[in-house]
Structure 1
Amino acid sequence: MATDALSDLLKTVRLTGAAYFEIAAREPWSVHSPARELILPRILPGADHLIAYHVVTSGRCCASLVGGQSLELEAGEVVVITNADPHVMSSSAGMLADPPDADMIEIAAAGRLPFHVNLTCGGAPSARLVCGYLACDARPFNPLLESLPPMLKAGGERRNDVGGLGQFIHFAVAEVADRRVGSESVLTKLSELMFIDVVRRYVEALPPQQTGWLAGLRDPSVAKALALIHARPSFGWTVEGLARQCGASRTVLAERFVELVGIPPMHYLAKWRMQVASEMLNGNANMAEIAAQVGYDSEAAFSRAFKKMIGVAPSVWRHRSRAD
């Protein structure tokens, strides 16, 4: 049930990626992340959230949020900056670097990806990285983003696992090295798969006392309730009906849902319906079809609910989405 709920969410928020840089560096070195407003329009125009990732393919390095947390990394590990906050990749913690300007981003975007950054000064590299970005929709409802910490690290302990993250890294290294036809598309898909695998590993490692939407995926009753809501958003769910399907009492389900997800089940249902509707508004479905798919008897009732929750009418949302 848990993986279904996560998959459902990822399908509605238009997760997409692009690999932009390959870095070869020799100590001491440091690179500042490009500003998100320079990167985001290049990946998914109209999306409102950016995620950065860095795969260490050889050597060691450090990832540091500007003014915040630092993580040591070694070959076979990946760090995900979940909100693309300003950060520095460097040979050791505490190093500073200037952000790249818009001209560098234009040069990188105009050429064949990945764009190579050479910081070896003619010597042998002490570290190599493949760095990229993922974009997704944060609006109107993306509980995953709210559940993730600013930085996630994965890999290392399972990099020799043929079915795990190590295999994604192996493929990324091969694609960067071979530069075959279609490698840019392959790297884009690999970055999406890698992010999903990192999130799954994060969920598996959550402590028992953790709260949030992702923690809810590990609770049997809450996970099943989420899966039921996602599977049938048009159904007239009640807390009693969900509890019955989940094999729990109404009180227990309601309390666990609020404790873990942060909002009551019926509030979540209303938000999920608007998320599904917003995705359908990106396509060609008419308003009557959308209203029926998200549980409203009429276009007028759907329009009122959408505007109340999102702040604009469905037609305005559709217009803005198409313009983007």
Structure 2
Amino acid sequence: MDALSDLLRLAKFEGAVYLCSNFTAPWSRAGNIPRAVCAAFNPLAGRIMPFHLVTEGSCWVSPIDDVTSAIRVDSGELLVMPRGEAHLIGSSREVLREPAEDLLSICLTTAPGDPMKFSHGDVPQTRLICGFFACDDTLMDPVLSGLPRMFKTDFRNDPQSAWLESTIKLAAVEAAEWRAGSAICFARLSELLFVVAVRRYLEALPVDRTRWVAGRV
């Protein structure tokens, strides 16, 4: 087994989705999800890494303490915060500078451990699947130390990954219809997308920084 696969297995890496949301501009939210909320999905997690998957439209995301570094995330892109930091997410750079309601206020209206659907506005312009990745902090350190404060991956504009676009479409359908088993389906889809995203990021780094990935353990 390759080193990356083995680390993900040993670190008990798991994904969870807590919110499927539709937004009409202007909007903004603070993406600080307390550990107590995450524990309802995965009580043993050492590291919590929030993610946002855009299935329609676009949004802007930044660390809560550095709005100037905001990046745009478009439909078909996954954004991950590997260090688990509090962050802001909104319809434009400008709204990120305004007071934002916390996503926690949405999560408190649902039962612990249950994902929720939420709509803001009458004509949805942006559709998001929000969640987090959980893992053993120590075991995953070789991977996480090589990742930036936040990074995104485009799963739709890659001719070699047509199957990933189908995965995004499946996630969008699950979010819209919300059938029995949707929660676990979201979790497994998000795990798959994370592995692909990290692999792409690591493959773009100099060989001397990722030599361990090619190893066998």
What TM-score, normalized to structure 2?
Answer: 0.87
Aligned sequence identity (%): 31
Q: Give 1:104 shift.
A: 4.1
Q: Does 1:52 align with 2:50?
A: yes
Partner SS, residue 107 of structure 1: coil
8 A Cα contact 1:17 1:43, kept in partner: no
Deviation digits for residues 46-73 of structure 1, max 9, x if unmatched?
2210011111111121111112331111
What TM-score, normalized to structure 1?
Answer: 0.60
The aligned counterpart of 2:119 is 118
8 A Cα contact 1:20 1:131, kept in partner: yes
Say how many residue pairs are matched: 211
Gaps of 5+ in 2: none
Q: Which has the higher strand share?
A: 2
1:8-157 matches, cutoff 5 A = 8-68=6-66, 69-94=69-94, 95=96, 96=98, 97-101=100-104, 104-110=106-112, 112-113=114-115, 115-120=116-121, 123-139=122-138, 142-155=141-154, 156-157=156-157
CA separation of 1:159/1:72 partners in 2, compared to 1, >3 Å: closer, same or farther?
farther
Tell me how far apart the structure 1 counterparts of residues 185 and 150 of structure 2 sit (CA, whole Å).
Answer: 25
The aligned counterpart of 2:211 is 216
CA separation of 1:12/1:57 partners in 2, compared to 1, >3 Å: closer, same or farther?
same
The aligned counterpart of 1:284 is none
Partner SS, residue 43 of structure 1: coil
Q: Which has the higher helix share?
A: 1
Gaps of 5+ in 1: 231-324
Structure with the greater relative contact order (CA < 8 A, sep ≥ 6): 1 or 2?
2
1:267-282 matches, cutoff 5 A = none
8 A Cα contact 2:29 2:102, kept in partner: yes
8 A Cα contact 2:16 2:132, kept in partner: yes
CA separation of 1:139/1:174 partners in 2, compared to 1, >3 Å: closer, same or farther?
same
Tell me how far apart the structure 2 counterparts of residues 129 and 87 of structure 1 sit (CA, whole Å).
Answer: 15
Tell me how far apart the structure 1 counterparts of residues 36 and 182 of structure 2 sit (CA, whole Å).
Answer: 23
Tell me how far apart the structure 1 counterparts of residues 145 and 109 of structure 2 sit (CA, whole Å).
Answer: 33
Tell me how far apart the structure 1 counterparts of residues 203 and 110 of structure 2 sit (CA, whole Å).
Answer: 36
The aligned counterpart of 1:158 is 158
Larger radius of gyration: 1
Tell me how far apart the structure 2 counterparts of residues 111 and 37 of structure 1 sit (CA, whole Å).
Answer: 12
Partner SS, residue 163 of structure 2: coil
Tell me how far apart the structure 2 counterparts of residues 111 and 9 of structure 1 sit (CA, whole Å).
Answer: 26
Tell me how far apart the structure 1 counterparts of residues 160 and 143 of structure 2 sit (CA, whole Å).
Answer: 28
